[in-house]
Amino acid sequence: MTIPPSQPLTATQHTQLSKLEKRLRHHVGQAIAQYNMIEDGDKVMVCLSGGKDSYALLSILILLKKSAPINFDLVAVNLDQKQPGFPDHILPNYLDSIGVEYHIVEEDTYAIVKDKIPEGKTTCSLCSRLRRAVLYKAAKNLGATKIALGHHRDDMIETLMLNMFYGGKMKAMPAKLVSDNGEHVVIRPLAFCKESELIQYGDLKQFPIIPCNLCGSQPNLQRQNIKRMLNEWHELYPGRIESMFTAMRNVVPSHLCDNNLFDFKNINSSSGIIDGGDLVFDQEAFSRPKQTNNELVNALNVVEVK
C-alpha cells in the first residue's frame, strides 16, 4: 500500500484548517474539562489505529498539551494485529515526523479471529475484545493513567440508537469510564466533535490513513443502517442530531420507566411535584418545530433498518 505525498495547502485551505482546528480544540477542551478527563501529571495513552479519528485525537491533544494549564504526557500506541497487507511502516514514519513518543505493539490477534469466527461472519466483536485486552496490558506496562479513544459524537449517538433498536436498552458510549478489567480510566476526548468536521480535518491535515478493512470483514450492517438514517435525518431536519446529543446530556430519570433509576413505587400524593410533573408534556414546553409532527416518522422511514 502506498500513501500519496502531501500536497501544499492553498491560502483558502490554510484558513479553513485554522478555523476548524480552533473549533475542534474548543470541543475537546470542553469535553476534557466537563468530565475531568485529564488531570495534572497524567500519562495519556492515545490509541492510534491509522484512521482519521485517532489521528485527529492525537493532533488536537498535542496542541492542547502546549497551552494547557496542567502538565500531562502523551504516548501513542498502535496495535499491529498482523493483518495481511498491513503497511507497518506508515505509522512509525508519521509519528517520527511529528516527534511523538510511541510504541507499536505486535500481537497476532488476526490469526485468533480467523480461527474462531466462521468464514463470512463479522469478526469485529471478537477482534475488538482481543484488541482491548492487548491495549490494557500495554497501558499497564507503560504506566499510563488514562487511555484515550477516538470515538466522536456521531459514534455515541449511533450506539444509543443501536441499543434502543436492537438491544432494548437506553445506553450509549460514555465520555469516561473504567476499563473492563477495572484497572484503567478510558476517555473519549472527541465526545463533542462532529464526524463531518473530523473528516474535513483529516483531509486538510492529509493524514496517512490506513483502511480498517484489511481483515476482509464485513462492516457492521446495523450500524451502517443507523448511520445512513441519521445522515438522511440531518439532511431533512437540520439540528435534530445536535438536539439528540443534547438530550443524552440532559436525562430526566423521573420521566422514564426504569425503577432502578427512580423510585416510582413509592410516589404518592404527598411526594410533591417532581421535575415538572405532567406539565412537561404540554405543547408549550417544547420549542415549536418548523416541520409537522410527522417528521420523526418520515425520517425513520427514509432508511429501512433491518
**pLDDT confidence of residue 286:** 54
In a domain, 143, yes or no: yes
Q: Specify whether 111 is located in the same domain as 144.
A: yes
277 and 210 fall within a common domain: no
Same domain assignment for residues 32 and 174: yes
Q: Is residue 182 part of a domain?
A: yes
Order the strands of the 102-106 sheet from edge to edge.
Answer: 102-106, 73-80, 43-47, 146-148, 185-187, 176-178
Same domain, yes or no, for 170 and 277? no
Domain co-membership, 228 together with 123:
no
In the chain, the number of structural domains is 2
Separation of alpha carbons 80 and 78, rounded Å:
6
287 and 144 co-located in one domain: no
CA 196 to chain CA centroid, Å, is 13
Whole-angstrom distance, CA of residue 19 vs CA of residue 22: 5
Q: How far apart are CA 10 and CA 17, in angstroms?
A: 10
pLDDT of 84 reads: 85
pLDDT of residue 5: 59
Predicted local distance difference test score (pLDDT) of residue 292: 42
The answer as to whether 127 is a domain residue is yes
Is the Cα torsion angle 12, 18, 24, 26 positive or negative in sign?
negative
Quick one: which of 304, 293, 298, 262 has its CA closest to 165?
Answer: 304
Residue carrying the nine cell digits 433498536: 165
Is the domain of 287 the same as that of 168?
no
User: Domain boundary residue among 188, 203, 218?
Assistant: 218
What pLDDT does 85 receive? 84
Residues 101 and 146 in one domain: yes
Instruction: Determine the pLDDT at residue 287.
Output: 54
The string over 114-145, giving b where at least 16 C-beta atoms fall within 10 Å of a residue's C-beta and e elsewhere, is: beebeeeeebbeebeebbbebbbebbeeeebb
Residue 69: what residue type?
P
- Domain final residue, candidates 203, 218, 233: 218
Asked if the structure places residue 3 within a domain, the reply is no
Q: Are residues 49 and 193 in the same domain?
A: yes
Q: For residue 58, is it within any domain?
A: yes
Report if residue 6 sits inside a domain: no
Instruction: Look up the domain containing 296 and give its range.
Output: 223-265+273-302
Query: What whole-number distance in Å separates Cα of residue 159 and Cα of residue 244?
Result: 12
**pLDDT, one tens digit for every residue, the chain (306 residues):** 445 557 899 999 999 999 999 999 999 999 999 999 999 999 999 999 999 999 999 999 999 999 999 999 999 999 998 888 889 999 999 999 999 999 999 988 878 877 777 776 666 777 778 888 999 999 999 999 999 999 999 999 999 999 999 999 999 999 999 998 889 999 999 999 999 999 999 999 999 999 876 555 555 678 889 999 999 999 999 999 999 999 999 999 999 999 999 999 999 988 888 887 776 566 555 554 444 445 444 544 444 443
Instruction: Report the SS3 class of residue 95.
Output: helix
CA distance between the termini of the chain: 35
1 in any annotated domain: no
**Residue 199 and residue 233 in one domain:** no
- Using a CB cutoff of 8 Å and minimum separation of 24, what contacts does 27-30 make? 27/190, 27/192, 27/193, 28/57, 28/60, 28/61, 28/64, 28/189, 28/190, 28/192, 28/193, 29/64, 30/192
Grid coordinates of 113: 479471529
CATH number of the domain to which 81 belongs: 3.40.50.620
Tell me the C-alpha distance between 156 and 151, whole Å.
7
Is 78 a domain residue?
yes
Q: Same domain, yes or no, for 160 and 40?
A: yes
Write down the pTM of the prediction: 0.86
**Whether residues 174 and 77 fall in one domain:** yes
